[in-house]
Structure 1
Amino acid sequence: MLLTPTEFRPSRSGRIQERPKLPEPGWPARFRNRVATLLGPADREVLWLYLLTRLSLWGTAYCTRWLFPTRPGTHDPGPVLTAFERWDWHHYLHIAQDGYFPGGTGSGQDGGDNRAAFFPGFPMLLRAVHTVIPNWTAAGLLISFVAGAVAVLALARLAKRYTAEADAGQRAVLFFLLSPCAVFLAAGYTEALFLALALPAWLAALRRNWPLAAALTALATTVRVSGLFLAAAVALHFLLTVRSRDAWRALPWLALPAVPAGLYAWYLQAHTGDWMAWKHAQERGWYRTLHTPWDTWSVTWDAAFGQRFTTGYGFMFQAELVAMVAGLVLIGGLLWRRHWPEAVYICLTLAALGTSYWYTSIPRSTLLWWPLWIFLAAWSLRRPQIKTVYLCLVGPLTTIFAITFLSGRWTG
């Protein structure tokens, strides 16, 4: 039997002696080696930044529990996870626990809890993770934690692809993670999971890997209706970049993202007789009835500054107006740069949010506007003072928004 060079060595007498085989590395070492192969130094820097901001948010949550308890005058701040159990989380939790139509009655009917307004992707994953993590809130936070890590890696790679700057990825992720509504990335909400699917989908579309882009976009559509807006952007990018007859064979893949939305509509229709039950649930629960954009702006302005509501609600409506203006400026920049697919994605998002009775959830939606964070990163690399201005102006707002959410005062 022949010996390999690693299995023998010559002795002083010239005779060959066997070298003892080194033990195979254990699975922790193999895992670390595999991670090091997949993630370069820039990726690891991004993940380190992500971890630091998660620790910061958890520290903010801890302080908020003690300084702003739910019951004034209490001596017990309550369980550590209660700070993240807010509003939409309860809808996701109830869907994961009981489904959409518990006991034969559902949100698609008048008098329900309007849970049909929420797409099933996140609740289904929450139910699956709960089989391993017994605590529902911890399971939801774990989903967002892992999904957020995937999202920031994809955002960094997108930024580098758009700008060809080595530092653009880390800069875009920094601006993204310190944005005012970044607390929603840590909570058991859909933003992190949606981005973990949507950003790799867009990256695949830029690389013209249409089957992968369509599959990831379809998964994103199970999480939020915004997946359909992403699908429109992917389709436009396909039409603008296709160059050969063979490339047109990928066209049927672009219909894949419509399948989850169609199946969900069919499921709701089978239980309620209403194909648009999810839309009607949104109208009942969140005043998302169709209005003209100028009427919506007028009503929101009056809610923000007309003293119709308490100061807490007024402040939230002011944030909605600022976010809408930021979105319109972003669209203008995208059109100026001729980024047509990205402009379509933002336009459809603002059209959906800007034609309700009043603005709702636009600040949260900014987390999904990846061109915004990439443009800010590119701008700050050309003008270094932009980074300082951003951190000084946005940093305090981020803390205020986080405390507002974690203390249960987000909606006034």
Structure 2
Amino acid sequence: MARVKRLEDDNLRIVQIWLVSRLMLAVIAVSIAIINTRSLESVVAQWDVAHFVAISAQGYADPKEMAFFPGWPLILHALGLTGIPKVLGGTIVALVCSLVAAFALKRIAGPWGAIAWLLAPTAVFTAVPYTESPFCAAAFWAWERATKDKWGQAAVLAALASTLRVSGLFLIGALVILALTQKRGRGQSLAGRLSWLVLPAAVIVVYVTYLYGLTGSWTAWFSAQEAGWQRGFHWPWEALVNHWNTLWTPNLDHPEWPWVFRAELISWIVGLVVTVVALAKRRVAEASWVGVQVLAFSLSYWLMSVNRAVLLWFPLWRLIDDVVSSRPRTRGWMVVGGIIAAAALVIQGVWAWLYFTGRWAS
């Protein structure tokens, strides 16, 4: 009975944090719309949302938009066919998926890890029509199912995640390592586990082949990244030098840029630390999931969108849960926890303000 009560309390706490944080984001968006006499849709539909909506309407008419995987635009297109405005429908789906992802995190990272994820600085991207929420919902549950040796279910979920963003490729690689390192015995054989992963891999192959049919190039996705976002190949030391130079260059038109780029560097360092700690704890598959992303960001012109990628790093939130769970439930620690949660909401609110006002928010 005590265990059931604890589970119920954890579930209730996660729902409460989800409601409070999403309500705060909604209040910020509505306030900005009212103050600036703008439509709420225009406030929510910033940056990549415009690309997703455009692809949902006219396909890959702009070659640069091939950098975006087709899963999310297809969902927005389907919503549009029902008569639901795409931005509104995408926002609702993202909000629901953020709660679905939080409950998956509760399974693989613990309740405090799920709560920390909901309070993440860049959580605004899980409450707008971006791919973070649906990807995390699919990827986190894929991982949870794989750890329970339910590889058929994991493969279907990983395939869904792979339609949404290139991170699906990294997920497949991490799942391969999980299959190789998972204990043998009862359950599926190694060959059985690996054979299931052909399904999500096929999704990536189909998309690359589709782009080849449109462009005649097998590297169309990479070319789109380079043309639109300066993500051509660079050695890590070149990327770090280029990034370092942006940290101290004032920008009168965009004063937030140096600060956001500093946060990118901090997020990248956090990824390195999580990778090393996960390896030290012999969580090899988890270390590979974060480590390969850290490496990928290091091979670009500079470190970009790392702040958003932190949302995908469930090993980070698991480590946070480890730390919080190991602390005694004394009044002093509860006060400290409350202060940290309040500070997290403030930072989350500032980041939401950056996004909703059209400023660079990673």
Shift of 1:44: 4.2
1:199 corresponds to 2:119: no
**Residue 240 in structure 1 maps to residue 177 in structure 2:** no
Q: Which amino acid aligns with 2:277?
A: G
**Which residue of 181, 185, 189 maps to 2:130?**
189
Q: Which region of structure 1 is more displaced relative to structure 2, 181-190 or 224-233?
A: 224-233
Aligned counterpart for 1:80 among listed residues 37, 40, 57: 40
Aligned partners of 1:78 and 1:256: how far apart in 2? 44
Q: Spell out, residue by residue over 1:248-305, the C-alpha distance to the aligned partner (whole angstroms, 9 max, x if none).
A: 3413112222111110111110110011211110011111111111211111111111
Q: What residue is the counterpart of 2:159 in the other structure? A: 218
1:338-353 map, 5 Å: 338-353=282-297
Partner residue in 2 for 1:165: none
User: Against the structure 1 CA distance between its residues 248 and 142, is the aligned structure 2 distance closer, same or farther, given a 3 Å change threshold?
Assistant: same
Provide structure 2 residue ranges, at least 5 long, that are not aligned to the other structure: 1-6, 328-332
> 1:388 and 1:292, CA in 2 relative to 1: closer, same or farther beyond 3 A?
farther
- Cα distance in structure 2, aligned partners of 1:344 and 1:140: 31
For 1:390 and 1:276, locate their aligned partners in 2 and report how far apart those are by CA, in whole Å.
44
Partner of 1:381: 325
CA distance in 2, matches of 1:411, 1:149: 22
8 Å CA contact retained: 1:327, 1:346: yes
* 1:45-194 equivalence runs, <5 A: 45-67=13-35, 69=36, 77-101=37-61, 106-107=62-63, 114-160=64-110, 169=111, 171-194=112-135
Q: Partner residue of 2:330?
A: none
Match for residue 317 of structure 1 among 261, 264, 271: 261
How far apart are the structure 2 equivalents of 1:50 and 1:312?
27
Q: In 2, distance between residues paired with 1:137 and 1:218?
A: 24
Deviation at 1:391, TM superposition (A): 2.8
Take 1:354 and 1:272, find their aligned partners in 2: how far apart are those partners?
27
Q: Is the 8 A contact 2:246 2:261 kept in 1?
A: yes
Name which of structure 1's ranges 141-150 and 378-387 shifts more when overlaid on structure 2: 378-387
Per-residue deviation, residues 160-189 of structure 1 (Å, max 9, x unmatched): 3xxxxxxxx1x2222111111000000100
Indicate how the Cα distance of structure 1 residues 98 and 122 shifts in structure 2: closer, same or farther if over 3 A, else same: same
Residues 46 and 173 in structure 1, CA contact (< 8 A), matched pair in contact too:
yes
- Kept after mapping to 1: 8 A contact 2:21/2:345: no
CA shift in 2, pair 1:394/1:50, >3 Å: closer
1:277 to 220, 227, 234: 220
Q: CA deviation at 1:242?
A: 4.7
Q: Equivalent of 2:247, from 293, 304, 317?
A: 304
Aligned partner of 1:265 among 180, 197, 208: 208
The offset of 1:157, in angstroms, is 1.7
The question of whether the paired residues in 2 share the 8 Å contact of 1:323 and 1:363 is answered with yes
Cα root mean square deviation, aligned: 2.0
What is the CA-CA distance between 1:397 and the residue it aligns to?
1.9
Residue 43 of structure 1: aligned partner:
11
Q: Distance in 1 between matches of 2:82 and 2:249?
A: 49
Distance 1:378 1:388 in 2: 18
Give unmatched runs, 5+ long, in structure 1.
1-38, 70-76, 108-113, 161-168
Supply the distance in 1 between the matched residues of 2:361 and 2:326 (Cα, whole angstroms): 38
Aligned 8 A contact 2:122 2:311 in 1: yes
Deviation at 1:247, TM superposition (A): 1.1
Q: Is the 8 A contact 1:148 1:193 kept in 2?
A: yes
Q: Could you say what secondary structure the match of 1:86 adopts?
A: coil
Matched residues in 1 for 2:147 and 2:190: separation? 16
Which whole-Å CA distance do the structure 2 matches of 1:56 and 1:307 have between them?
A: 31
- Structure 1 position 210, deviation (Å): 1.2
Residue 25 of structure 1 corresponds to none
Which TM-score applies when normalising by structure 2?
A: 0.90
Pick from 309, 313, 328 the counterpart of residue 369 of structure 1: 313
How far apart in 2 are the matches of 1:400 and 1:88? Answer: 19
Contact persistence 2:251–2:257 (CA under 8 A):
no
Task: String of CA shifts for 1:190-243, please: whole Å, max 9, x gaps.
Answer: 000001100110001110111111121111011011111111111111111252
Write the letter of the residue equivalent to 2:259.
Answer: F
User: In the TM superposition, what is the alpha-carbon distance from 1:344 to its structure 2 partner?
Assistant: 0.3
Cα displacement (A) at 1:308: 6.7
Residue 279 of structure 2: aligned partner: 335
- Matched with 1:26 is none
Residue 78 of structure 1: CA displacement?
Answer: 1.6
Give the Cα separation in 2 of the matches to 1:155 and 1:133. Answer: 33
CA distance in structure 1 between the partners assigned to 2:338 and 2:95 by the alignment: 27
Q: Tell me, what secondary structure is at the counterpart of 1:256?
A: helix
The verdict on how the C-alpha distance between 1:411 and 1:155 changes in structure 2, with shifts beyond 3 A counting, is closer
Identical columns (%): 33
Deviation at 1:244, TM superposition (A): 4.5
**Deviation at residue 128 of structure 1 after TM alignment:** 1.2
Alpha-carbon deviation of 1:348?
1.0
Name whichever structure is richer in helix by fraction: 2
Alpha-carbon separation, structure 2, partners of 1:135 and 1:63? 21
Instruction: Tell me if the contact between 1:178 and 1:395 (Cα under 8 Å) persists in the aligned partners.
Output: yes
Mapped contact 1:119–1:222 kept (Cα < 8 A): yes
